[in-house]
Amino acid sequence: MNVLLIDDHALFRMGLRELLERRGIRVLAAEGCCDEGIALVGELEPDVVLLDMRMPEMSGIEVLKALRDSGAGMPIVMLTTSRDEQDVVQSLQSGANGYLLKDMEPDALIRALEDIVGGQTVVAPELAAVLARAVQGEAARPENDVERQFAELTPREREILCLLAEGQSNKVIARNLGISDGTVKLHVKAILRKLEVHSRVEAAVLAVEHSLCGRNARQ
């Protein structure tokens, strides 16, 4: 995996670069200047770009939009300390493939990046409730529709949905449940179809928003 990092904090850039390279991830560049970083993305074509949210020259969202406008198609991830609801929602709406927090565990960060490069959208588990609040009042579904869809899930699918809501990857879920990655993928596909959503993030938000896992646990 080839990574390019844009962050104005030199110590964080150095520390993250060392952490990633120790785990076999190649850091093509760790740039503190937003304009330089944008240019390097086009030149180096990394597998994934990591962006800070708060930078003096441009915000992370401005850099994200500039990259998308320039035709950059690789996954772009916000790696930040901000837990602000607007930042999360605006990042995803602007084309981010992930929203991760700088205080997450190194192994969790690596797993998240692998999932993102693999085509998934990943949001830090701690922010699932933030996303749920954001969609309430906008596209929130009637409770009876959610109850009907949730009732269609098998016990195993409900179990996996709750693990998705905790932010677990397919590999971790497979290990915890003693089943194969392929089996987990089939269950996730069925969950998305039954809940009429298009991504793991949407399924997790739905579970948190309607307290589906808590309700299921009490039954």
The ranges of the chain with pLDDT < 70 are 129-146, 214-219
116 and 198 both lie in a single domain: no
84 and 158 both lie in a single domain: no
Backbone angles phi, psi at 123, to 5 degrees: -120, 140
Domain span at residue 180?
134-218
Which residues, other chains included, contact 149 with Cβ-Cβ below 8 Å and sequence gap of 6+?
194, 195, 196
Residue 129 lies in a domain: no
Of 123, 152, 173, the last residue of a domain is 123
Provide the pLDDT for residue 216.
43
21 and 102 both lie in a single domain: yes
186 and 141 both lie in a single domain: yes
Number of domains observed in the structure of the chain: 2
82 and 147 both lie in a single domain: no
Residue 143 lies in a domain: yes
Domain containing residue 92: CATH number: 3.40.50.2300
Residue 22 lies in a domain: yes
207 and 147 both lie in a single domain: yes
Rounded to the nearest 10°, the torsion over CA 207, 170, 101, 97 is -90
Residue 58 lies in a domain: yes
Residue 116 lies in a domain: yes
Of 123, 153, 178, the last residue of a domain is 123
Of 91, 123, 155, the last residue of a domain is 123
105 and 15 both lie in a single domain: yes
30 and 76 both lie in a single domain: yes
35 and 88 both lie in a single domain: yes
Residue 128 lies in a domain: no
Provide the pLDDT for residue 133.
60
Provide the pLDDT for residue 5.
95
176 and 85 both lie in a single domain: no
103 and 147 both lie in a single domain: no
Provide the pLDDT for residue 144.
60
Residue 54 lies in a domain: yes
Residue 164 lies in a domain: yes
Tens digit of each residue's pLDDT (9 = 90 or more) over 157-177: 999 998 888 878 888 899 999
153 and 105 both lie in a single domain: no
**Average per-residue pLDDT for the chain:** 84
